[in-house]
Amino acid sequence: MLAATLVIIGCSRHVTVPTSPKLTIYYCKAGSDDLVGFPFSVDPKLGASAVASYALNQLIAGPAVGRDSLVLFPAGTQASVTIDGGVATVDLHGPIARSFQGGGGDESGLFKSLTYTLTGLPGIKSVQVLVDGRNRAALPGGQFEIDEPLTRETFAQ
C-alpha cells in the first residue's frame, strides 16, 4: 500500500493518508515497435495479484479511445495471471489460443505490451506465457517464441 505522510503544523503527530497508486497499461502502435502508455489509478487496498489481474484485464480489453492505431488482443481473448517471486505467469485462452492471424509484427507487439505492462508493476521482472495452461514454443499459427520468460530486454534486440 502506498501512503503519504502529512505533517500538520503545530501538531506533533504524523497522519498517514492513503494515495491511489498509478499503473500504466502499454499498447504497441500498429506498424511500429513504439509503445503508448495509458495511466490508470488503482485502489491502494488491492494486493499485488489483484493489481496484476486488473492490469491484464485492462490490457486485453483495450483502451476506450485510439483503438484503430494500436495492436490489440483478438476479441474474446481471456487470460489469468499468477505471481510467483518476480515472475508473472499469464495463461491465455480463447481465440488467441486456437489460431493467431495477426502477423509477426502484431504478435511481437502484443507480447511487448503484455511484458511492459506487467513488468511495470512492483516486483515483477519477467512474464511467462502459457497457452491453455501449457508452455508452448509459440501461439498456434504464430512465430514469436514464448517458451521462455519474457523481459523488457527481450524487446531491446
| The total number of structural domains that make up the chain | 1
Q: Residue 127 burial (CB < 10 Å; 0-12/13-18/19+)?
A: buried
Residue 63 domain-assigned? yes
Residue 3 domain-assigned? no
Structure confidence at residue 3 (pLDDT): 40
* Phi, psi angles (nearest 5°) of residue 35: -100, 145
What pTM was computed for the model? 0.84
pLDDT at residue 2 is higher than 60: no
Q: Cell numbers 516486483 label which residue?
A: 123
Residue 125 domain-assigned? yes
Residue 13 domain-assigned? no
Residue 106 domain-assigned? yes
Rounded to 10 degrees, the C-alpha dihedral 141/143/154/67 comes to -50
Residue 112 domain-assigned? yes
Q: Please, are residues 54 and 48 in contact by the beta-carbon 8 Å criterion?
A: no
Structure confidence at residue 22 (pLDDT): 86
pLDDT per position as a tens digit, 76-111: 999 999 999 999 999 999 999 888 777 778 899 999
pLDDT at residue 67 is higher than 90: no
Range 125-132 average pLDDT: 97
Residue 2 domain-assigned? no
Per the structure block, which three cell numbers stand in for 25?
Answer: 497499461
pLDDT per position as a tens digit, 5-34: 333 344 444 444 445 578 999 999 998 889
Domain extent, residue 109, equals 20-155
Residue 7 domain-assigned? no
